[in-house]
Amino acid sequence: MQLHKLTIASGLALALSFSGAFAGGSKPAVSFGSPITESAIAAWDIDIQTATGKGLPSGSGSVAQGKALFNAQCIGCHGVDAAGGSQYGSMVGGKRPLTGGGYPYAPILFDYIRRAMPMNAPQSLSNDEVYALTAYIYALNEFIPQDAVLDAASLTAIQMPVRDGFIVDDRPDTSATRCMEDC
């Protein structure tokens, strides 16, 4: 299989999967899909590799533009100055203003707004508008100055407070024993 020459490690796993996990049948020799070009996928190709910023589009937006847009489209759920509103809590303050473990890489917010916000009209904002909203939220958190303008390079360059705040899964992290009497 040509694939094995291309990816040694994953090719080995692939061979195992054919012989093991789906032993009831092997891959048919024919494809039922059809080729497509990357340019034809462009409208769906919205993901950002947030650690490197790969995938961030051209365009830019300022904190001031973001504030105006936030007040027009986001304030109803998130509240004045993103301090918490009718539906969601505050997005401002502390090392992890965006809750849970927070964002180790600044482009995460761009990626999320672009794919999912505003909730009642997702994927309706221009790239400039997404940059502007990202700038506004990060300025409220004092990660960037109030007069900042974000684009692909400046967004990727922001050093987030929880940049080193994560560990990769290290479970199992317990070693319970099977005690049966007088436990």
> Between residue 15 and residue 34, which ones bind another protein under the rule CB under 8 A?
16-18, 21-22, 24-25, 27-28, 31-34
In the complex with another protein, the residue whose CB is nearer, 91 or 148, is 91
- Quote the tokens at residue 78: 């998130």
Stretch binding another protein (CB under 8 A), from 59-67, 135-143, 146-154, 159-167: 159-167
Residue 56 Cβ vs another protein, minimum distance, rounded to whole Å = 12
Stretch binding another protein (CB under 8 A), from 58-66, 96-104, 125-133, 141-149: 96-104
Between CA 123 and CA 44 the distance in angstroms is 10
The 98-137 site mask, x for binding another protein (CB under 8 A), equals xxxxxxxx--xx-xx--xx--x--xx--------------
Decide if 53 contacts 108 (C-beta within 8 A): no
Distances (CA, A) of 171 to 28, 80, 101, 166: 37, 41, 18, 14
Between CA 103 and CA 3 the distance in angstroms is 36
